[in-house]
């Protein structure tokens, strides 16, 4: 029996759809917040990033999260120079959430889903991964690329960390709720079976 390629037409369509969802949630469901060295935002894009990983696994979710977020960055002159960094960080967020959720599903046994506690842990782990990467990037970018003084860097980090923490909590809660609502429907429709993940 011939083995199906990992990047089947269905998987590529899912990556495209979830990338679009990440882009739309970031572009239209946001509040911009100015800081001394640029802006930050409160948005729903991270919800879709984590949801992509929880539903479709680390690589598929990571590509969806990274592509959708990088495309958003390319549409905004403030964020465009950092689009490649955004791709890597959002990929990592969904990758961590997806790998942990997939591992929990495998541990639960064939035909069973991961327990709610495992899904919550996976979502929080993805959000924490992104939070740490984002704050690290903010410090390094502002200090060593832009050459800002440490006082301005720490003021910016304080503002961005606060907003990023709110985004992380929001993303963790909402992505888990959406996962619990969507996974049974997608499973019943045979999506995961056709992806070879059941």
Judge whether residue 172 has pLDDT over 90. yes
pLDDT in tens, 136-168: 999 999 999 999 999 999 999 999 999 999 999
pLDDT of residue 162: 93
Domains of the chain plus CATH, in order, are 9-195 (1.10.1760.20)
Nearest to 56 by CA among 117, 143, 122, 125: 122
Residues 122, 100 contacting (CB under 8 angstroms): yes
Judge whether residue 59 has pLDDT over 70. yes
DSSP 81: G
Mean pLDDT to the nearest integer, 58-72: 98
pLDDT of residue 28: 96
pLDDT of residue 113: 76
Mean pLDDT to the nearest integer, 27-49: 89
pLDDT in tens, 70-99: 999 999 998 999 999 999 999 999 999 999
pLDDT of residue 169: 97
Whole-number Å distance between alpha carbons of 184 and 25: 23
Judge whether residue 1 has pLDDT over 70. no
- % of the chain residues with pLDDT over 70: 97
pLDDT in tens, 90-125: 999 999 999 999 999 988 876 677 789 999 999 999
pTM here is 0.93
Angle of the 9-28 helix axis to the 58-74 helix axis, nearest 10: 40
Residues 84, 36 contacting (CB under 8 angstroms): no
Whole-number Å distance between alpha carbons of 123 and 19: 18
């Amino acid at each position: 029996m011939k083995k199906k390629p990992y990047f089947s037409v269905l998987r590529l369509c899912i990556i495209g759809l979830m990338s679009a969802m990440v882009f739309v949630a970031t572009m239209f469901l946001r509040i911009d917040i100015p800081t001394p060295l640029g802006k930050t935002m409160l948005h729903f894009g991270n919800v879709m990033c984590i949801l992509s990983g929880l539903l479709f696994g680390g690589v598929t979710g990571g590509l969806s999260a990274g592509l959708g977020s990088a495309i958003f960055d390319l549409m905004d002159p403030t964020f465009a120079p950092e689009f490649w960094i955004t791709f890597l960080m959002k990929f990592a967020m969904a990758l961590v959430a997806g790998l942990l959720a997939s591992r929990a599903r495998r541990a639960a046994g064939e035909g069973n889903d991961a327990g709610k506690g495992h899904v919550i842990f996976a979502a929080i782990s993805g959000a924490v991964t992104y939070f740490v990467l984002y704050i690290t990037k903010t410090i390094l970018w502002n200090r060593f690329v832009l050459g800002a003084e440490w006082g301005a860097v720490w003021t910016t980090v304080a503002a961005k960390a606060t907003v990023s923490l709110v985004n992380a909590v929001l993303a963790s809660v909402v992505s888990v709720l959406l996962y619990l609502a969507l996974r049974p429907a997608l499973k019943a429709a045979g999506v995961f079976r056709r992806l070879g993940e059941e």
